[in-house]
Chains A and B, each alone.
Chain A
C-alpha cells in the first residue's frame, strides 16, 4: 500500500531527471569538445580575435559576437515598442471580442517555423532594403527586422500577463485622482509592471540571440566585421549552422567553443530575466 502510493512520484522523478540529464549531457559534451580549443587559443584571443579563418588556424569570433549583438539589439529596438503598444492595447483598450481575436493570431505568429520567416525575409525584406535603402540587402537590418517580428509573441504575451496581473486598485486609484487613461498607463501601470516587462524583453533577446535558420537566410553571413547596419554579418549561431557540415578537427572544436560562448550569453540573459520576474513577485 505505502509502496504503491510512492510509485507515481518515483516514476515522475525518474522522467524529470532524464530531462535534466539531457541538459547536463549536452552541456558537458559542448564543454569537453570546446574548452581545449579555447585553452589553446586563449580566452581573450578567441573572444576578441578579429580573424576567423579555420584553414589558417585563426579562430577569432569577435565579428560574430558583434553580429549577434547587433541583430539582437536591432530586433529589440524595432520589436519592443511595437510589442509594448500591442500589449497595452490588448490589456487596456481592446474590447473582449477584439482581444479574443488578436490573441490567437499572435500565438500563431509564434508557431510559424523560422525557415518560413527567413524565406519571407529573403524574398520580401532583402530586396526592399537593397532597392530603397542601399547595400546588398542581405544585412544586419534585414536580420533585425525578421527577428523583431519573431520575438513579438514572446514579448507581447509576457508583458500582457504582467499588465493583467496588476491589482485593479492601481487603475482605480489613478483614475480617481483625475489621471487620464494614458496618464494611468504611463504613470502607474507601466512602472508597476516594469520588472515583468523587463523579463519579457530579456527573454525576447534570448530568443533573438539563439535564432539561427531565419538569420542565415537574410544576413549574408560574411565573416568580416560589419561597419554599418546595411552590411552583411554573421552571428554565433549562423557560424555553427553554416560550417558544421564540413568542419573537422580543430575547426569542429572551434564551433563547439562558439557554442560555449552562446550558452554563457543565454544563461546570463535567462538569469537576469529570472531575477526580474522574482522581483516582480516580491513587489506584490
Chain B
C-alpha cells in the first residue's frame, strides 16, 4: 500500500521498502507518512517522517550490533538517542549517512529510508546522500587548514568555485552556527587554533555549508565544557526549525533540554543493541512505559 503510493508519486524506481505499514504511521496521498509529536509545550504538531528504519539489523562481522530497530524520525525536530555505552547508538546514527560503509566488515539488514526512499539500494548515490545527511562527530574534527577552507570544503568539492560565492556561503554558514562574530577576523588562520567549542561549531558550520536536510550529531558536546555545551544546545534548538536533527547523547539532562523525541536503546543479554522505547521526550522522561527505560533514566539522574 505504502510502496504503491510512493511509486505513483515519484514515477521512478525510487521506492521505500515494501511490506506492512507500521501501526504508528498513516498513509497519506504523498510520498511521506505523518506522525504526531507532542512538543515540550504540549502542542500537537504534525511532522512528516524524514528518516525511517524498519527492522534494521547491523552486523560487524558475525556480531549483531543492532537488532530489529524500527523507528520513524520526524522532520524539523530534534530526536535524541539515549542509552548506555556500547548499545549501538553511534552505529545506529551512522546508518543514515551510510558511514558504516567505511567499515569493511559492517553489513546492514532491513530498511532505512530518507523521505520514503530506501537508501541501501544498489542505485543509491552515497555521495549525494551524504550531502543531504550531514554529520557532526564526537570529537571536533576540523581539517588542518584555515577556517575559511574548512567551511568552504564541501561547496568547493561539490563544484562551487568562485571565491565570492564561497565567501557568501562561509559567512552564512558561520552565522548560522553562531560562530561568525568570533572568527570573522581570523578566517585565514588555522582552524586548529580555535578552542574546542569553537571547533565543534566550525564543524557544524562546515556541515551547514553543504545545505543538508538532516544533521546527525554523535555526542557533539562530550568533549566540551559546560559553557560551550550550552552554546551548541542553543544552536541546535535554533536549527531545528529548518533541519531534522538526530543527536546521540550520554547526557540525560541534555536530551531532556533539547529534544522533541527520544529513543532509548539498551543492550540485550547477547550484547546486541535494541530499541526499548521511543516517544515524545516529555513522556519518556516523566512517564516511561518500559521499566528498563525508567531504570536507565533514573539511574542516570542518581
**Chain A residues packing against B (C-beta within 8 Å):** 167, 169-180, 183, 187-188, 191-192, 283
Contact = CB atoms under 8 A, between A and B. Distances in A.
Contacts of A175: 99, 102, 130
A174 B143 contact: yes
B137 interface: yes
B141 A173 contact: yes
B274 interface: no
B167 interface: no
Interface of B: 97, 99, 102, 127-131, 134-135, 137, 139, 141-145, 153-154, 156-158, 192, 203, 206-207, 210
Nearest to B97: A176
B154 A177 contact: yes
Contact of A180 (B102, B127, B145, B192): B127
Given A169-B139, A172-B102, A173-B203, 15 more contacts: A169-B137, A169-B141, A173-B137, A173-B142, A174-B153, A175-B99, A175-B102, A176-B135, A180-B157, A187-B157, A188-B143, A188-B153, A191-B145, A192-B144, A283-B192
A43 to B, nearest CB: 41
- Chief secondary structure at chain A's binding surface: helix
Contacts of A192: 143-145
A207 to B, nearest CB: 28
Nearest to B142: A173
Contacts of B153: 174, 177, 179, 187-188
B144 A177 contact: no
Contacts, number: 68
Contacts of B142: 173
B207 A177 contact: yes
B141 A178 contact: no
The DSSP consensus for interface residues of chain B is helix
A197 to B, nearest CB: 14
B99 A170 contact: no
Nearest to B128: A178
A170 B128 CA distance: 19
A176 B99 contact: yes
Contacts of A188: 143, 153
A177 B192 contact: no
11 contacts: A170-B144, A173-B137, A173-B141, A176-B99, A176-B135, A177-B210, A179-B157, A180-B157, A191-B143, A192-B144, A192-B145
B148 to A, nearest CB: 14
A187 B156 contact: yes
Contacts of A191: 143-145
B99 A178 contact: no
Nearest to A176: B135
Contact of B158 (A167, A171, A178): A178
A284 to B, nearest CB: 9
Contacts of A176: 97, 99, 130, 134-135, 137, 207
Contact of A178 (B102, B130, B145, B203): B130
Contacts of B134: 176-177
Contacts of A187: 153, 156-157
A207 B203 CA distance: 42
A192 B190 CA distance: 12
Of the candidates B154, B157, B192, B207, the one having the most CB atoms from chain A within 10 angstroms of its own CB is: B157
Nearest to B127: A178
A193 to B, nearest CB: 9
Nearest to A184: B157
Nearest to A169: B141
Contact of A172 (B99, B144, B154, B156): B99
Contacts of A180: 127, 157
A180 B153 CA distance: 12
Contacts of A183: 157
A170 B129 CA distance: 19
A63 B19 CA distance: 80
A177 B99 contact: no
A191 to B, nearest CB: 6
A171 B135 CA distance: 13
A167 B129 CA distance: 24
Contacts of B127: 178-180
Nearest to B209: A177
Contacts of B130: 175-178
B177 to A, nearest CB: 14
